[in-house]
Amino acid sequence: MRPEDLLCPTPRGLYCPPADVYIDPMQPVPRALITHGHSDHARAGHDAVLATPETLGIMGVRYGDDFARERQAIGYGEVVMINDVAISFHPAGHVLGSAQILFAWRGFRLVVSGDYKRLPDRTAGRFEPIRCNLFVTEATFGLPVFRHPPTELEIAKLLDSVALFPERAHLVGAYPLGKAQRLMALIRDAGYDKPIHVHGALVRLTDFYQAQGIDLGDVVPVDLDARKTLGGAIVLCPPGALQDVWSRKFPDPVSAFASGWMRIRARAKQKGVELPLVVSDHADWEDLGRTIRETGAEEVGVTHGAEEALVHWCETQGIRARPLRLVGYGDEEAV
C-alpha cells in the first residue's frame, strides 16, 4: 500500500482512485467532494457533489440551485461508503460548513483538510485533529513570520478607532464568505450593538449565515444615497470596494482590512490600508506544525501557499512531506 494508491494530484485536482472521486477539483468532474464554499475550492458544473449541507447551501447562493446535476449532503461525522472507501466529513473551523475529509481504506487513513484554522470561531465550528497516516494540508501562512495575534485585540483596535473618530465612517474590507460574518460575530461579542452596515455584495451570504441560526445582530445593507450620513458607523465591504468610487461618498472614511496578510506592514501600506486588522481564517505557522503533529501522520502533502517552507519543516521533524503542486488554490482568500 502506497499513499499514491489513495491520492494523486491530477490536472483536474486531487483524485482518489479507489473511490473514483475528486476533492475540490478545478475543472468539472463526474463526482466531486467539496471541503468548503470558497470559490477556489467549490466550483459549479460537476455532475455530482458530496458536501456538508451548509456548503451545498453556500454553493446554491453563489451559483444558483443548478450548480450540479446531483447533490448529496453529508453531516459532520456521518460515513458514506463509496466503493470500499469509508468517507466522512469533520469540522475544519475555516468558514460555515467547512470540512476536512477522512478516507479510510484497507487500514490506511487519509485526511484532506481543505483550508482550516485553530482559533475559535462561532460562525465556523471547531477544528478537530484526526489521526491519520497521510495528512494533506494547506500552507497559506506557512512561514515563521506568520503568527496571528489574539483576534479580540484586533477587534479592540477597530472599536477604539470608532470611539476615537466618531465622525468618520469605518470601512472594513473583508472576504464576503466567512471573514465578513466572523467579523460581525466578533464585533457583537465585543459588546457593539449598533447596526452593522454592509456592502450589497455581502448581503446574501450574510442572510444565509443568519438563516442557519448564527446570530449577527442588526445587519443593514448600505443605502447608496445615505452614505454621507454614516459617520461613526462600521461598514463591511469586499476588499476591492475600498479603492472603488463606492467608498468615496462616506464621510472621511477610515480604511481597514481584515486579513492574515495584514501581518506584513508593507502589504497594508501598498494597499492604502490605514487600519490593518490581522484576522485570518487560516492556521498560522505554529498551528500548522501543531496540527501536523496532532494528526500523527507519517506523511504530509502540501497543497498551496508556502509549500517549500512547510515541507522543509516536516523533514526536520522526521515526517515525510511533498508539495502537491496544485494550481488554482488560494485565489479567493489569499489576496
Instruction: Work out how close the CB of 301 gets to Zn ion at its nearest, in angstroms, rounded to a whole number.
Output: 15
- 95 or 172: whose CB is closer to Zn ion? 95
Residue 49, CA distances (Å) to 15, 68, 125 in order:
14, 7, 22
Residue 253 or 330 having the CB closest to Zn ion: 330
The answer to whether 133 and 2 have CB atoms below 8 angstroms apart is no
Give the residue, chosen from 13, 91, 100, 115, that forms a contact with Zn ion under the rule CB under 5 A.
115
182 belongs to the binding site for Zn ion (CB under 5 A): no
Centroid of chain to Cα 105: 28
Per-residue cell: 285: 505557522
Cβ closest to Zn ion, residue 186 vs residue 334: 334
Q: How many residues bind Zn ion (CB under 5 A)?
A: 3
Determine if 38 is a binding residue for Zn ion (CB under 5 A): yes
Return the number of the residue (152 or 331) whose C-beta is nearest Zn ion.
331
Instruction: Tell me how far, at minimum, the Cβ of 226 lies from Zn ion, in Å.
Output: 33
Cell 449541507, residue located: 53
The full length of the chain comes to 335
Closest to 61 (Cα-Cα) out of 203, 218, 241: 203
Stretch of 5-13, 32-40, 207-215, 258-266 contacting Zn ion, by CB under 5 A? 32-40
- With contacts defined by CB under 5 A, name the span among 36-44, 187-195, 237-245, 261-269 that binds Zn ion: 36-44
Stretch that binds Zn ion, among 113-121, 127-135, 193-201, 242-250 (CB under 5 A): 113-121
Decide: is 118 part of the binding site for Zn ion (CB under 5 A): no
Least distance (Å) between residue 149 CB and Zn ion: 21
Which of 260/276 has CB closer to Zn ion?
260
Least distance CB 94 / Zn ion (angstroms): 6
Name residues contacting Zn ion, limited to 316-335 (CB under 5 A): none
Stretch that binds Zn ion, among 27-35, 40-48, 58-66, 261-269 (CB under 5 A): 40-48
* Interface contacts to Zn ion, rule CB under 5 A: 38, 40, 115
